[in-house]
Chains A and B, each alone.
Chain A
């Protein structure tokens, strides 16, 4: 095994950030390999019948951010897993600093060679502190006794170095998701890392926090570390990366210089010809797809500005509980209303309260003008509500169960006669939903956990399809979903609204809100502080600045 760094002390002092840079500066990269930290040639991999990779090439230069793009199932994850030693390829070759080496046989081996991965699913121990997590299993110790003081000091230095706003003593379990991810990244950085792979790092981050991440990435690359950046958010690609490699159907479409690409050319590289996208022929016509695919900015404007003045389907009056204060809110049938706010502002809590997951201490909920008490989700579902929760793995899906089991869950009553479960009708309804939403899976019996993120999210949507809900509550509806699936989900949301469903969306993705919503409610500290129509807001940038502005105003007001 060739290591990136010849001398890699096993003790914890190697983690000292200062020494890390020092050793980097003195490391003699042989001239012929200068620049190229990692190169894979003609990598192939099959899983059973599925050819996941068919001869992919990939090169990572020192100090670059190299975006790895492709739809779900294009082979990105497989490629990353081969690089990091999780999977062994069937064929191909690997070069590290220009030296041909054998593929890493385990993540530990890859790690020793200086390749670190930050996965979407975090690998932290919630009950331990930030510093304890960073130094997990490599604690500096004296005669078996862990030296807490040193751990704290090292952690502080690391955090300072990358300007991560984290308290080393805080328990990871108490941190919001975005902060946990920072811990994960800093943990990956706390070693002799030469290659850092980030797998959709921003999928759960907020605007402000992305900046910190991007900043940290640029600090890392300045030291010559190559970063492989896997994402579905194309804007970030332009913002961050120098080069882009696109995969499609397990093959490399090509490696491009970012400056030579624009959004349109990039989308078409990822998606291929418009006709390829939907996978096998689904019932939707290709023309229809083409229209909404490549540059899908067109929003249905017709219903803007007061077109939906009818009686609201849902009305909240002065709803107050431990997280919310005096929430007033109306959503009319067919209307799409966005809850715009920063992480932790209270948008999630508003949706969960409506859905009966949180107690209401004061205020009233009215549905079609009539006062209702929904104490639990079953009541909310009964009155026609559906919720797509924020974290599908935690709240949305039973990962180990089949698609049809998951889809049937909220409407088990429909598939029950005298207690008897009508599996056939559940399956046939699932089939219908799968083709409507173009969920790509061998069949309804496929385990949800084996699907890609985009298809999993579509399964969550499929739970709320038939009968069409009167009220659809969406929390981060496209988190961790690829471009193609995102467009399909947007289309689904619009169709549902057009059919008369009242839709309430909470999202940290302001582009998403701008593209979907007729109206916005600005949420700060559990209050709705402002509202505006789509035309009043106008652009995504303005929405972003409005959100921050509203927050700053409220906070200043509180201080005064």
Chain B
């Protein structure tokens, strides 16, 4: 190797190192929020002897499963530059159609699953097509579908609950265990893995990022941004319907008022996880960590004996503090303009 080539190589190495340092610094910034939560968790661990036990952590996992599953779908939608406020309603309607399908067809679990997933897919497609075809912001479209879909869930049963008698359904999606893991956690893990694959390893994910990052640039690069957004909504609908199945199987019944208001918890989880509401930025794993952080908070405050009203107040304050910590402007060391 000549001296010149050596110098060239050194230069490259140096620039690569510099890039690495920048990434590390950015990671430290991103992780600041997690460090703060570790501190909070440490506080819980010190004050409550139960907090660190495996049983308690399985509890946290089970309690956050629904939000986590829905958050995976929501992350796709938000990274694509849209928002889906109808998820909780879609969850309820899917659970309901699943339960009704089984009641209709001999309590066969697969009819329940098929009906629920189909409902989620249809609602997702509807959200996507309305948003992209009417060119109305999804914020408004999904406020509308949030209301209508919930209304349909109530209409179809006259607002009464529908019991689920299929044991395989209740076991596989609600009450069963795989080794020591409750199935809701197993489903969460499956959805998260699929979500990570789709978002971070498939070309589809690149298109979602580009669409949310700059829809024009994506379009000028030959990406059909309308299709991508519609698919993101479809994924969100499917995730919501799976969560609906899990919730109904756990309670062995479907009720039209299930999960009302949950869309806000899901949004909080996604945003806490570092996904930008403006689109083009975020990770699936972040959303799950966000969901877990909220779960830990709820769990810890309960263990401390804080009553549920005070819990709500504390949760809100902590979420605001955490998001403001995580926001980009709060961290600037190496950015150069």
Contact = CB atoms under 8 A, between A and B. Distances in A.
Interface stretch (A127-135, A182-190, A440-448, A499-507): A440-448
Interface string B120-136: 00000000000000000
B310 to A, nearest CB: 39
A394 B218 CA distance: 10
Nearest to B216: A395
B202 A450 contact: no
B218 A381 contact: no
Interface in B8-66: 8, 11, 15-16, 18-19, 22-23
Nearest to B278: A400
A412 B214 contact: no
- The interface centre, meaning the residue of B204, B217, B280 with most chain A CB atoms within 10 A of its CB, is B217
A443 B217 contact: no
Given A77-B337, A395-B216, A280 B206 contact: no
Contacts, number: 110
Nearest to A77: B337
B179 interface: no
B210 A450 contact: no
Contacts of A47: 334-336
A452 to B, nearest CB: 9
B223 A409 contact: yes
B206 A377 contact: no
- The interface centre, meaning the residue of A398, A408, A463 with most chain B CB atoms within 10 A of its CB, is A398
A483 B108 CA distance: 72
Given A49-B18, A421-B203, A442-B19, A410 B8 contact: no
A420 B201 contact: yes
A378 interface: yes
Contacts of A409: 206, 210, 217-218, 221-223
Interface in A164-187: none
Classify the interface of chain B: helix, strand, loop or mixed: helix
A47 B333 CA distance: 8
Contacts of A416: 202-203
B302 interface: no
A421 B8 contact: no
B220 A442 contact: no
B334 to A, nearest CB: 4
Interface in A211-251: none
B308 interface: no
A449 to B, nearest CB: 9
Nearest to A49: B18
B315 interface: no
A420 B203 contact: yes
B187 to A, nearest CB: 23
Nearest to B202: A419
Given A357-B219, A409-B221, A419-B204, A401 B336 contact: no
Contacts of A380: 222
Given A52-B336, A405-B209, A405-B210, A445 B222 contact: no
A357 B220 CA distance: 8
B147 interface: no
B231 to A, nearest CB: 12
B327 interface: no
A397 interface: yes
A396 to B, nearest CB: 6
Nearest to B17: A442
Contacts of B224: 376, 378
A537 interface: no
Contacts of A377: 219-223
A378 B318 CA distance: 46
A398 B217 contact: yes
Given A396-B217, A398-B280, A410-B222, A419 B16 contact: no
A387 B15 CA distance: 31
Contact of A381 (B16, B22, B204, B222): B222
Given A47-B334, A378-B222, A378-B223, A394 B11 contact: no
A405 B206 contact: yes
A445 B114 CA distance: 42
Interface string B216-255: 1111111110000000000000000000000000000000
Interface string A405-438: 1101110110110011100000000000000000
A260 interface: no
A281 interface: yes
Nearest to B211: A398
Contacts of A420: 201-203
A546 interface: no
B150 interface: no
A529 interface: no
Nearest to B328: A400
A281 B15 CA distance: 13
A48 B337 CA distance: 12
Given A415-B203, A442-B19, 12 more contacts: A48-B333, A376-B222, A377-B219, A382-B222, A396-B220, A397-B214, A398-B210, A400-B281, A412-B223, A419-B204, A421-B201, A421-B203
26 contacts: A47-B334, A48-B334, A50-B336, A280-B11, A281-B8, A376-B222, A377-B221, A381-B222, A382-B222, A387-B220, A396-B217, A397-B214, A398-B209, A398-B280, A399-B214, A405-B206, A405-B209, A409-B217, A412-B207, A412-B223, A415-B203, A442-B15, A443-B19, A445-B23, A450-B336, A463-B221
Closest 9 CB pairs of A and B: A398-B213, A409-B221, A378-B222, A410-B221, A416-B203, A381-B222, A443-B19, A442-B19, A398-B214
Interface of B: 4, 7-8, 11, 15-16, 18-19, 22-23, 201-207, 209-210, 213-214, 216-224, 280-281, 333-337
